[in-house]
Amino acid sequence: MSVELPFAPVDEVIRRNAGDLRVSADAAEELARRIQSHGASLAVDAAGAAATAGRKTLMADDFGVQQVIDREALTLPIAPVDRIARLEIDDSYRVSMDARIALADVLEGYADNVAHAAAILARHADRRTVQAEDIETYFALFE
């Protein structure tokens, strides 16, 4: 499976959580992969909620979001998030714009949590660079 999410915005999310640490390209790539996997899984659950409600359109509340934030407040781009949402669901489902923004918001919060923890792990390892192994260690410990 190819990674739909560009690495640059993911790198930006890591950097805002890393403080004075550097960020390896591998760390951004690994986190992008994890974000994509998580997003696809959330979309499957959202499709199930939409189906239960008798809808073929995913809505923001299917992702557990009651109030949709302004699109401009997001770091993650909407178009790749839309493609991520469609990776594992039936082609007959539509994804509303609010649902795309809601999913991007949820995924960005997820990425912030992982990036913050990865920065802590990098500091604990007495390194000046957040690496892919810090992202992998986070998931080994907490998932």
| pLDDT (0 to 100) of residue 73 | 97
The predicted model scores a pTM of 0.95
What is the CA 69 to chain-centroid distance, rounded? Answer: 16
Residue-wise DSSP of 83-134: HHHTSSS-TT-EE-HHHHHHHHHHHHHHHHHHHHHHHHHHHHTT-SEE-HHH
Task: Report whether 107 contacts 39 (CB < 8 A).
Answer: yes
Q: How far apart are CA 118 and CA 108, in angstroms?
A: 15
pLDDT tens for 57-92 read 999 999 999 999 999 999 999 999 999 999 999 999
List the structure tokens of 113.
Answer: 């949590």
pLDDT at 143 over 90: no
Calpha distance 61→46 (Å, rounded): 8
Residue 50 CA to residue 6 CA, distance in Å, equals: 28
Q: What is the pLDDT of residues 19-48, one digit of tens each?
A: 999 999 999 999 999 999 999 999 999 999
Please work out, in degrees rounded to the nearest 5, the angle formed at the alpha carbon of residue 12 by the alpha carbons of 124 and 82.
Answer: 120
Per-residue confidence (pLDDT) for residue 1, from 0 to 100: 62
pLDDT score at 3: 77
Domains, in order of start, for the chain: 7-142 (1.10.20.10)
* Phi and psi at residue 126, to the nearest 5°: 60, 40
Q: Tell me the average pLDDT of the chain.
A: 96
Tell me what pLDDT residue 41 has: 97
